[in-house]
Amino acid sequence: MNVQVKPTLGVVTISYNEEQDLPGFLDNLLDWVDEIVIVDDGSSDRTEELAKAAGDKVTFLRTPRVEGEYFSHQRNKGIEAAKSDWLLHMDVDERVTPELAREILQAIKNPDKDGYRYRRLNYFMHRPMKGGGWRDWNLVHLARRDKFHFGGMFHESCHLDAPEAREGQLQSLMVHFNEDNLEKRFRKSGTYMEELLKRVEARPKPVRLIDILGRPFVEFTRKYVLKKGFLDGTPGLISAIHSATAVFRANALVWDRQNAVSRNQIETDFQQQWRDGGGVG
């Protein structure tokens, strides 16, 4: 008689100063997953202490990023350290609902699938968001350990080593709290700007005035009108403006790089003007 072995399930996350969210994260998972791997970027708060106090299910790896490493490198370190058959890739500020947990445990029993996509219920300014593109995210973050890895910079790309037919779709939503105040969102956006700048610089044509003016307007219209950000009231408006502002900053910064005048050139021009003007004599 063939006895079907229940597949094991682990969770991989990355952390940096997560003492606020880590207790809830661990409490959400410890009762029903087989292991939790935390890859830490050099926290200076109680993150390590809280993780190590959570028991044998938790593996804490203190491995700060070095130059040239991004979040994708950290997540891949977690994959390498994990032992479970299946891995659920989460952020510390995410929570699995009972409905999603039951769906996950059933899904990983399916021998015909190697990975699953799911969507998020994102919070912004402390509120769950209905529109504005906040529910567009739908990536493979549940996969067999040996079939999956991450790429990219800050917004990681997902790579499932399997044909499309072996990829499934979960129906329940993952809750994502995001930042607990708008100031932190603004600071994080500054970090993500490097990724956006690379996309602008990769365009075949240099940045023009129409890009600086038009692209932010298009971004606002897309988020607030087409994606129905207006359904979320004031937070929806702020979110759309914030996205448009990021597009403006990226295009303005790249224009500055493409049309830069060196300080040495400015100094040379000034000295020439001084000489042409006859000095003070």
Whether 187 has a pLDDT exceeding 90, the answer reads: no
For position 32, what pLDDT does the model report? 98
Residues 25 and 164 in one domain: yes
Amino acid at 119: R
1 belongs to a structural domain: no
Quote the domain boundaries for residue 33: 9-176
151 belongs to a structural domain: yes
Q: How far from chain centre, in Å, is Cα 234? A: 24
Q: Based on the structure, what is the number of domains in the chain?
A: 2
Last residue of a domain, one of 150, 176, 202: 176
Contact by Cβ (8 Å): 99, 124? no
Residues 138 and 58 in one domain: yes
Residues 162 and 209 in one domain: no
Last residue of a domain, one of 176, 198, 223: 176
275 belongs to a structural domain: no
For position 241, what pLDDT does the model report? 96
Q: Taking residues 170-190, what's their average pLDDT?
A: 89
Tens digits of per-residue pLDDT, 66-123? Answer: 887 878 899 999 999 999 999 999 999 999 999 999 999 999 999 999 999 999 999 9
In our burial notation (b when 16+ CB lie closer than 10 A, e otherwise), range 207-244 reads beeebbeebbeebbebbbeebebeebeebbbbbbbbbb
For position 154, what pLDDT does the model report? 62
217 belongs to a structural domain: yes
For position 281, what pLDDT does the model report? 60
Report which DSSP code applies to 257: H
272 belongs to a structural domain: no
Burial degree of 191 (CB within 10 A; 0-12, 13-18, 19+): exposed
281 belongs to a structural domain: no
Tens digits of per-residue pLDDT, 24-60? Answer: 999 999 999 999 999 999 999 999 999 999 999 999 9
Which has the higher per-residue pLDDT, 142 or 191?
142
| pTM check: above 0.95 | no
Report which DSSP code applies to 225: I
Last residue of a domain, one of 116, 144, 176: 176
% of the chain at pLDDT higher than 70: 96
3 belongs to a structural domain: no
Residues 113 and 210 in one domain: no
Structure tokens at 8: 């094991």
Which has the higher per-residue pLDDT, 240 or 181?
240
Backbone torsion region of residue 132, taken as left when φ is above 0, otherwise alpha when ψ lies between -120 and 50, otherwise beta:
left
Tens digits of per-residue pLDDT, 258-272? Answer: 999 899 999 998 998
Q: How far from chain centre, in Å, is Cα 279? A: 57
Residues 166 and 193 in one domain: no
For position 190, what pLDDT does the model report? 77
Backbone torsion region of residue 178, taken as left when φ is above 0, otherwise alpha when ψ lies between -120 and 50, otherwise beta:
left
Q: How confident is the model at residue 1 (pLDDT cuts 50, 70, 90)?
A: very low
Distance CA 64, CA 164 (A): 34
